[in-house]
Amino acid sequence: MNNNVLLGFDVFMRTYGWTRIQLAARILTYFRPMSMLVTQDFHYSIIYLFSVSALKIGEMLFDFQF
């Protein structure tokens, strides 16, 4: 991956990925209050995995230490 691919990935994550995942989590927890804890934990784990993988990709490509 070159810098353009990484910049496109970063822009995509900030404009589409994060907002859509958070919106889906809020909609699911709003319409399914019985399974609210399970849905929240599931979506928070997905967001955590995305953030950790993005940080690791940044460390590998740019030698940053976050």
How far the first Cα of the chain sits from its last, in Å, is 20
Give buried/exposed letters for 6-37 (b at 16+ CB in 10 A, else e): eeeeeeeeeeebeeebeeebeebbeeeeeeee
d(CA 40, CA 42) in angstroms, rounded, equals 5
* Residue 2, pLDDT above cutoff 60: no
**pLDDT tens figures, 36-49:** 455 566 666 667 77
pTM value > 0.75: no
Mean of pLDDT over the chain: 63
